[in-house]
Structure 1
Amino acid sequence: MTTTPPQNANGRAALTWRPLLIFSAYRVVVAILLLAGIALGGNAGVFSALQPGRFTAVSLLYVAAGTLFLIAAWRRVEPFVVQVVAGVLIDVVAIALLSSALGSSETALGVLLITAVAGGSLLTGLRLGAFFAAAATIALLVVQTLSRIAGHAETDGYTQVALLGIAIFVTSSAAALLARRARESEALAAERGLDVANLEALNAHIVQRLDIGVIALDRDGRIRLANRLATGIIGRLDSETPTLAERAPALQRAFEAGGNTERTPITVSGIDYLPRFVPVGDSQRGGTLLFLEDLTAVRAQIQQAKLASMGRLTASIAHEIRNPLSAIMQATQLLGEAEYLQDGDRRLVGIITKQSRRLNETVENVLQLSRRSPAQRETVNLAEWVPQVVSEWRAAFSGGEVDVQATAVAALFDRSHMRQVLENLLRNATDHAGEHPTVSVVTGRDERGAPYLEVRDNGPGIDAEIRDHLFEPFATSRRGGTGLGLYLSRELCEASSARIELRPEETGACFRVTFAAPDGAQQGGQA
């Protein structure tokens, strides 16, 4: 993962403006020292000027120009390169004039040109650095020539000017190359830093999306990181770094006991977890990663796998039963039409016929599960669809009163699948409601705005012993029931991205089917 580092203000200041500010401050300090030297030192030593008045005037102008460049660098006046070039040229001209006022280029002031050119090369690069070195060398030659014409300098001064020029060119080139290496290193460091930041963000995103709890502990046992599932166990960390012993003593005991090498489940907040401790880095200074696997979810997955296997096996058995069962039902029908049967024999034939139909219904339900077609979802107006299905069902199966309270709510589902679900819920409601069944069908939206359909009855409700297994295969409390209706209903709902659940009620039973809402659907949406 390689990303170009952004050229933000802070990064550019580190590479350009901050060094320029230091260079400009150095220029002002040098100019002030030169002015102070001529004012306090008189004509002694280095400052034994032939023209002290001109030296003082140039120094004053140099201080003023240096101050202006310092303010410009402080306020970051663009363009940057123009400011650097102008500043270095001012240095070259000022130092050349000061050397001329002293009477020769052989003075120590010529060394200041090396610093000025080196600073400009550091800030601009090799090409402009060579230009600065050439300008400084030419200025030294001009000063030496004028001094020689005026008779203030000796002939061999050109040798010293040449040596100083060579030193200026070498220093300029070295400074430019060092600056380029420094910029490349800075850019590489910024790029690597961005890569590390991106990898940290990616790792954090992956850790947060894991299906198991992850906790990172330092060597002192303090919690440094916890993903979304882990915070549900130990609580939010916010800005504090609590210890594992403070948030989960049971996990701390497992850690102190050797990291749960025997993989023994541990109960935290009433839920069974299987902790696994993985050392990270050096055993003396490194930390530990703690993985928490929710055994409830694992057991649910195992149960689902068992149910799927059992479903396939049951479908295979049902398919094998269907053919001989059809023969039995056909033979029973022919036998029932025989005229020579006595009443007792006809009663036995009726029992065989009734039980064969019951067994055939079970076989049909099982086979329907195994060959269920994919859901063809569409937007349906429950206010129109529900009364139509209920009316057709009552015409086919007369059994009690059904009150429909359907509001204009748009839902997304497969019509044929949901018809089977609604008819199954209506049949269950009338079968369990007693002698005078009263069933109501209600539609609406829940607190989240999702469309739903409820089927309620006035019966005794669902027995507590099968409530938790209500939607599993063959779970039933009705004598003669197959226990496959609600299981089939749940499978059909899931195929349409819907959810069926048993709602708590004081009397009777209430089943709610919550549908997916069409995109942009509002209350009262039409099919």
Structure 2
Amino acid sequence: MGFVHSITNFKQHHRTTASEAHWQSLAAFNIFRLLTVIALLVGGLVFSSRMAHPVLLSIAAGYSLLAIAFAIGIARRRPGFDQQLTLHVAADVIFIVTLIALLGGLKSGVGLLLLPYLAAAGLIAQGRMTLFHAALATIALLGEETYRAYRSPEVDYNFTTLALLCVAFFAVAWVAHRLARYAQESQKLAEQRRVDLAKLDRLNQRILQDVSDGVLVIDGKYRIRQFNQQAERLTGCHPTHDVRLDALLPGLEAALLAWHEDPSLPPPLLTAPGTHKLLRPRFVALSPGFAGSALIYLEDMDRLRREAQQIKLAALGRLTANLAHEIRNPLGAISHAAQLLAEESRDPLIDKLTRIIGENTQRLDRMVKDVLELNRRDRLQMRPIRLGEWLGQFLDEFSQVEGISAAIVLDCPPEAEIHFDAGHLHQVLWNLARNGWRYCSKNDGSLVFTVRAQGRHWRLDVCNDGPPVPAEAQAQLFEPFFTTDARGTGLGLYIAREICQANNAQIEYVSPPQGGACFRLTFGLHDGQKTR
């Protein structure tokens, strides 16, 4: 079993090492063989009449035909690479040794031709079997010279030249083996570096795309070499190598030149013509001086303001939550004391005062509840919601709780589906429905819920036939503690907006062309995306 396993490993190693480059090298070696034969024939016929011997011409012709047969075997990749290489070297050794025998021995100088053949075979085989090829050439040459000495004992042979040539065979084989090993190690190192560079490039691309800012990589001639999707989204333009920086973002090139003159200058704020976003560029040199490439970060000022506002709101939420808990205890005591006074008193003035106390404590209690709900807006449990079925159940519950007998209109496609926290959606729509019912004419169809597709998103319009919101109040409609009702807390719409933003949605007020008031919810929006 161990022997079979070794043979299997050898075959697998042979298949992996005999790559296309090996076969191409073997084909080049075969072309070199043909060119050598042609050069020998031409040179011999021109400078020596001995090459015109019919036997030599026949051997050269046969050797050329054998090279053509080798080319067919290389093209078909059969037999295997090692077998073909050994067969080629053996044919070369036999051919050259035959030439040596026919041309008078080593003094003809033809034996030196074996050296480039052995070197080329060693490099092609990448160090494998090089010593075997050298040994094969040595045995053939020793056999030829021994036979010559046996046939002509009267001639005084000098075996020093033969020994030196055989030593040269092994020296060339060893050098070829070392060079092949060095080339093999260099190839492995280069392949590893290629893999490392490919991984590093993928990592750089991933980091570049995951950066929240827009990124542009430019050269010294202000040509864009690389960019991320965020830069394309912020500028509203697809950067290319031919686009100048000012065409992409007006004033960017001038800001880059100013930074080059004085890096300490604060960068100006620029407006992207495609998206109308306010952007702040930040420059980083990628090489010493300004001759090399530079890195430009485009920061979305709207996003930075939103993040700053969210931080402030989070701190305000924690503060108000603590205050709400502290206010609730004395507020409950005041309400309870007012109820006791109302039960014991028979004075109308005291009854009026206790009633005022009760109404204001209830108002403060609602405000405390709204503040606590605002602090819980980040606890999301988003899930798919089929709007048609969900809104039908919601309107039935709302009509029963509020004691509404008039019909509330619902127009929703059956395929409408959103991702939202069900509890948050219930809270937002209850607030909108209660406000809408409060200001409408309270007839059938006075309150309408309409769902429509808007691009890839769904939108829900909650409209009523009451008076529209005054134009001067629309800008402050979603601000905290702003209300046009003396009994309201001014936190309902503000909390609705915060809840919608937490659920990747948007709420806005629109003025219907037929009159009345309408609040629109657009679902499934990403951060920074707006509707028109």
Q: Do Structure 1 and Structure 2 share a fold, with TM-score over 0.5?
A: yes
Matches within 5 A, 1:262-411: 262-269=265-272, 270-283=276-289, 285-338=291-344, 340-342=346-348, 344-371=349-376, 374-376=379-381, 381-398=386-403, 401-406=407-412, 408-409=414-415
How many residues are matched?
500
The answer for the alignment partner of 2:104 in structure 1 is 103
Shift in Å at residue 442 of structure 1? 3.6
Partners of 2:252 and 2:187 lie apart in 1 by: 45
Instruction: Tell me, in whole angstroms, the C-alpha distance in 2 between the residues paired with 1:37 and 1:265.
Output: 79
**Separation in structure 2 between the aligned mates of residue 163 and residue 441 of structure 1, nearest angstrom:** 104
- Between the aligned residues of both structures, percent identity stands at 34
Judge which range, 63-72 or 73-82, deviates more: 73-82
User: Cα distance 1:376–1:202, how it changes in 2: closer, same or farther (>3 A)?
Assistant: closer
Rounded to whole Å, the distance in 2 between the matches of 1:435 and 1:23 is 98
Partner of 1:418: 425
Structure 1 stretch displaced more, 74-83 or 354-363 = 74-83
The CA distance in 2 between the partners of 1:372 and 1:338, in whole Å, is 42
CA spacing shift, 1:513–1:90, aligned 2, 3 Å: same
Q: State the 1:60 CA deviation.
A: 0.8
**In structure 2, what is the Cα distance between the partners aligned to 1:135 and 1:490?**
89
Aligned to 1:524: none
Alpha-carbon distance change, 469 to 31 in structure 1, aligned in 2, over 3 angstroms: farther
Cα deviation, residue 303, structure 1: 1.2
- Structure 1 residue 267: Cα displacement: 2.1
Matching residue within 30, 40, 43 for 2:49: 43
Quick one: which amino acid aligns to residue 35 of structure 2? V
The equivalent of 1:252 in structure 2 is 253
Alignment RMSD: 3.3
What are the Cα deviations for residues 327-360 of structure 1, in whole angstroms up to 9, with x where unaligned? 2222222333345222x54344333322222221
| Cα distance, 1:385–1:18 mapped onto 2, change above 3 Å | closer
What are the within-5 Å matches in structure 2 for residues 201-240 of structure 1?
Answer: 201-231=202-232, 232-233=234-235, 235-238=237-240, 240=241
1:337 aligns to what SS in structure 2? helix
- C-alpha contact (below 8 Å) 2:459/2:522 kept by paired residues: yes
One-letter code aligned to 1:317: L
Using the alignment, how far apart are the partners of 1:96 and 1:357 within structure 2? 116
- Structure 1-normalised TM-score? 0.84
Tell me the CA shift for residue 432 of structure 1. 3.4
Q: CA deviation at 1:511?
A: 3.4
Deviation at 1:447, TM superposition (A): 4.0
Matched letter for residue 33 of structure 2:
R
Structure 2 portions without partners, runs of 5+: 1-13, 526-532
Check if 1:509 corresponds to 2:517.
yes
> Residues 360-402 of structure 1: CA distance to partner in whole angstroms, max 9, x if unpaired?
1111111233356944555555444433332232222235652
**Contact conserved, 1:472 with 1:487, CA < 8 A, in 2?**
yes
Q: 1:305 to 1:434 in 2, by over 3 A?
A: farther
Q: Distance in 1 between matches of 2:474 and 2:175?
A: 84
Q: Which residue of 1 aligns with 2:9?
A: none
**Corresponding residue SS for 1:257:** helix
CA distance in 1, matches of 2:323, 2:309: 21
Alignment of 1:387-466 (within 5 A): 387-398=392-403, 401-406=407-412, 408-409=414-415, 412-433=419-440, 438-443=446-451, 446-448=454-456, 453-465=460-472
1:177 maps to 2:178? yes
* Cα distance, 1:252–1:41 mapped onto 2, change above 3 Å: closer
Out of 294-303 and 477-486, give the one that drifted further. Answer: 477-486
Deviation at 1:165, TM superposition (A): 0.6
Q: 1:67 is matched by which residue type in structure 2?
A: I
Distance 1:129 1:207, change over 3 A: same
Question: Deviation of residue 161 (structure 1)?
Answer: 1.6
TM-score in terms of structure 2 length: 0.83
The aligned amino acid for 2:198 is A
Q: Is the 8 A contact 1:263 1:275 kept in 2?
A: no
Between 1:407-416 and 1:275-284, the stretch displaced more is: 407-416
Contact map agreement 1:466 1:476 (CA 8 A) in 2: no
